[in-house]
Amino acid sequence: MRTDTLKYKYSYNADQADLYQTLVNEQLKYFQRTDPRIRHLEKGTKIQAQLTTKMKKFTTTNTMTVKDIVKNKLFQFETKQPDGEILQTYEFETNKRGKKFLIYSEQNTFNNARNQTNFIFIGMLYKFFYNRGVKKRMQYLDDLAIG
């Protein structure tokens, strides 16, 4: 795994198709809060959003674009910020023993080499908070999918 990529592997209980649909529905709601005209998500769906940066903690205008969508397998979108890009991926995986996982990852790319290096060092500390937040998000989606 690249040093600029954060990754969390979650063992889920819901039916895979239900969890995938819940994930897409929640992302759709997020996109619709910014642009109510969006009716469904597909590759290329795009919004402009005001988000707080991880490194400098200030609000910037960002473009979020659905990069790839494979039913019941993958949902990926990219957030372009003034300082760089974040590629966020939700991917379903089953190991050799049949255990099911939803893997969430964020690959961070910065326009400035100094910011990229800083993120690698800060990323080690940030990973603790990242894991806690992502675990809560995954449990929320899992519980929502189960009903």
pLDDT in tens, 89-103: 999 999 999 999 999
pLDDT at 116: 59
Contact yes or no for 146/31 (Cβ under 8 A): no
Give per-residue burial for 7-30: e unless 16+ CB within 10 Å, then b. bbebebebeeebbbebbbeebbee
pLDDT at 54: 61
**Average pLDDT along the chain:** 88
pTM of this structure:
0.85
The pLDDT of residue 1 is: 43
Does the pLDDT value for residue 105 go beyond 60? yes
